[in-house]
Structures are given as structure tokens and as C-alpha cells.
């Protein structure tokens, strides 16, 4: 076989693998869609969770016991009759939140709701494996890490985000409430990737040929995926906290809001979850910036040059540092800290999408 024929065969093989990768990505989108509908079925048909019903029952029991042991007070009715009543006692849950049920089918609601939830998780696992195979096929088509452009970053990012969710489930963490929101955003992310951001398989520019590509970019993707999970928890915390405050002040939420928000964990649980997620990954984000600086010195002869990507990576680091500090400051806990966390994640998103699309710099490779 001549050299030209061998080169042509290798190119054909690469194109074949790239085609397989595209097919797998589209297939994963189809499975994610099925998982999305299964999660919706869980939320619609699953009753309040066993944990929620148990918590509500225990709270009612404690409330009754507290009222039974409290001294009676005399209250005059409108007709002048004196009636003995016991004062109402506000009981807080173990998490420190107000007495509001804790969780959707995430804890495993009734038999029907739990069945839909298990189906949804199974479909999510299948979609994850199919998408992961698509990412691997993409890498094999050019024999490099699949992080050379925004399309490849997107499909890898969504794969890692789902992997983080499944890992938390495997660790017996109560995060099934994340499933519906996760599949929704993953479908949007993949839809954007295969339409607007799609880039054909190609080789890397010389500056990216470094082992630091595997270190720096992989940690950036992992950090982004974990930050995303934390941002979802933070956003849901704000909704749930408003709902609990409204109930505590004697208000009444709409039927739809009640149906959705009663199935979420308590605001205290969501707040704690988001904080732990963000705090756990912050050191890795610090390492990501340091690794990028080391790679920059190797590729461009300087550690830091305030390139737009470097600048926004640092802004993101500062924003998350402010969030973690706010969480330890009494006056900034709760909603104020949550707003900072969302701003920090917004900085991360702009660092990826905004800088790559609207701002030029040394990090601009392969178009988008």
C-alpha cells in the first residue's frame, strides 16, 4: 500500500469515527428526552415522599405533644363565653427549616411515583453511557482529547455534569430532584452544540499540543459541571425559601407552585447542599487557574497576560471566594449569599460562552 493510499484510508477511518460520534450524540439526546418525560411523570404522579410524610407526621405528633404539655390560657369568644385553649407551638424540622415537607419523588414517593423515578434514572444512565461513547468516538476520530473547540467542550461538559449527578446518586445522596432540571439543561446544551456550535473533527493548533491540555481543560470541565449542579441547587433554594416564608407568614401559594415546591427538599437542605458542592470544588478551580498559568508560560512565554479568558477565570474565582466568605458571615447567609453564588456561576458561563463568542484573545482557537 502506498503512503497516499494509507493516508486516504486513515482519513476515511477518522471520518467514519466522527460520523459514529455524531450518531451517538443524537442517540443520547433521544434517550435524554425519554428520561425527561419520565422525570416529569415522577413529579406529576408521585405523591409526597415517604421521608416527607414521615417528617410531617412526626411534626404533627410533636406539635400535639407540645400543645398538650403547654398551660391553657383563657380566651373570650365573641358571645362572652370563656374557653380554655393551649397556645400554638412552632416546631422546626431537624434541618432547622420551617415545618415544610422535604422532597419530591427524590426520596421515593408512592409506588407509582417511585417507579417513574427509577425508570428516569435508568434512562439517564443509558443516555450518559451513549453520550460518553460519542465523546470517546470523537476523541478517537482525531486521536486527541475531545476539547479542541466549543462543540467538543459542550458535549464533554454535559457528559461530566450527568456523571456528577449519577455519582451523587451512587453515593446515596438525595439528589433525584435534580434529574428533571439536569435533563432539561443537558438537552438545551446538546441542541446548541449540534446546531450552532458544531465543528467538524480536525487537528489541534500547535499551541494546544501539550499534556497540560489534559490537566487544565479536564479540571475546567469538571469544575464547570460541579458549579452547575451547585447553581441549580441555589436557584431552587431561592424558590423554596420564598415559598416557606410565604407559608410561615400565613400566605397561600398557588396550586402549581405548591405541587412543585412541596416535592423539593427544604430550603435549609438545598442551601447546605449548594454550599457543600461549591466549597468542595473551589480548590480545584484554584488549581485550574494555576495550571493554566503554567501552561501559558510554556506556550506563550508568560504566566499571566490578562487575556480575556484569564481575566474572567480570575473574576469567577473572586466571585466564588466572595460567596464562600459570605456564607461564613452572619449578615450574608441565606439569600444574599445565594445571589452571589448565582452571579459567580454567571461569570463562569460568560467566561465560556461570552468570551469565546464575542471577545477575541489568545484562547480563541478553531472558530468557536
What tens-digit pLDDT sequence spans the chain (368 residues)? Answer: 443 444 444 444 588 888 999 999 999 999 999 999 999 988 887 655 443 443 344 334 444 444 444 444 444 444 455 444 444 433 333 333 343 333 444 444 455 567 888 899 999 999 999 999 999 999 988 888 888 788 988 999 999 999 999 999 998 888 888 999 999 999 999 999 999 888 887 766 666 667 778 888 899 999 999 999 999 999 999 999 988 888 888 877 777 677 778 788 888 889 999 999 999 999 999 999 999 888 888 877 788 878 888 899 999 999 999 999 988 877 787 899 999 999 999 999 998 888 877 776 555 544 55
Domain-embedded: residue 138: yes
Let me know whether 15 and 128 are in one domain: yes
Let me know whether 269 and 347 are in one domain: yes
Q: State the total domains in the chain.
A: 2
Which structural domain, as residue segments, surrounds residue 364? Answer: 204-368
d(C-alpha 17, C-alpha 3), whole Å: 21
Domain-embedded: residue 70: no
Let me know whether 183 and 262 are in one domain: no
Let me know whether 220 and 189 are in one domain: no
Residue 352 grid cell: 465560556
Let me know whether 277 and 223 are in one domain: yes
Let me know whether 191 and 230 are in one domain: no
Q: Which residues, in sequence order, are CB contacts of 339 under 8 Å at separation 6+?
A: none
Let me know whether 136 and 193 are in one domain: yes
Torsions phi, psi for 96 (to 5 deg): 95, 0
Amino acid at each position: 500500500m502506498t503512503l497516499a493510499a494509507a493516508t486516504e484510508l486513515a482519513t476515511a477511518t477518522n471520518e467514519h469515527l466522527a460520523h459514529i460520534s455524531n450518531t451517538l450524540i443524537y442517540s443520547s439526546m433521544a434517550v435524554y428526552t425519554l428520561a425527561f418525560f419520565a422525570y416529569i411523570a415522577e413529579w406529576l404522579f408521585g405523591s409526597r415522599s415517604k421521608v416527607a410524610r414521615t417528617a410531617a407526621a412526626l411534626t404533627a405528633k410533636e406539635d400535639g405533644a407540645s400543645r398538650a404539655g403547654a398551660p391553657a390560657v383563657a380566651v373570650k369568644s365573641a358571645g362572652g363565653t370563656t374557653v380554655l385553649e393551649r397556645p400554638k407551638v412552632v416546631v422546626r424540622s431537624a434541618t432547622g427549616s420551617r415545618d415544610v415537607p422535604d422532597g419530591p419523588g427524590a426520596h421515593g414517593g408512592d409506588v407509582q411515583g417511585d417507579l417513574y423515578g427509577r425508570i428516569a434514572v435508568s434512562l439517564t444512565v443509558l443516555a450518559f453511557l451513549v453520550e460518553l461513547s460519542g465523546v470517546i468516538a470523537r476523541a478517537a476520530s482525531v486521536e486527541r482529547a475531545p476539547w479542541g473547540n466549543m462543540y467538543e467542550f459542550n458535549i464533554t461538559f454535559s457528559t461530566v455534569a450527568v456523571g456528577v449527578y449519577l455519582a451523587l446518586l451512587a453515593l446515596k445522596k438525595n439528589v433525584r430532584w435534580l434529574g428533571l432540571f439536569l435533563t432539561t439543561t443537558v438537552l438545551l446544551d446538546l441542541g446548541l452544540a449540534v446546531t450552532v456550535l458544531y465543528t467538524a473533527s480536525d487537528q489541534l493548533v500547535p499551541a494546544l499540543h501539550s499534556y497540560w491540555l489534559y490537566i487544565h481543560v479536564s479540571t475546567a470541565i469538571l469544575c464547570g459541571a460541579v458549579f452547575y449542579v451547585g447553581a441549580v441547587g441555589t436557584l431552587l433554594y431561592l424558590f423554596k425559601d420564598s415559598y416557606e416564608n410565604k407559608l410561615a407568614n400565613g400566605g397561600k401559594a398557588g396550586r402549581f407552585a405548591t405541587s412543585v415546591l412541596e416535592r423539593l427538599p427544604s430550603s435549609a437542605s438545598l442551601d447546605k447542599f449548594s454550599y457543600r458542592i461549591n466549597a468542595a470544588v473551589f480548590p480545584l478551580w484554584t488549581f485550574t487557574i494555576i495550571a493554566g498559568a503554567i501552561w501559558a508560560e510554556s506556550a506563550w512565554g508568560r504566566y499571566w497576560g490578562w487575556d480575556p479568558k484569564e481575566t474572567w477565570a480570575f473574576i469567577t474565582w473572586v466571585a466564588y471566594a466572595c460567596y464562600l466568605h459570605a456564607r461564613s458571615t452572619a449578615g450574608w447567609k441565606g439569600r444574599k449569599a445565594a445571589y452571589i453564588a448565582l452571579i459567580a456561576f454567571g461569570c463562569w458561563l460568560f467566561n465560556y460562552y461570552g468570551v469565546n463568542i464575542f471577545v477575541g484573545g489568545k484562547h480563541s482557537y478553531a472558530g468557536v
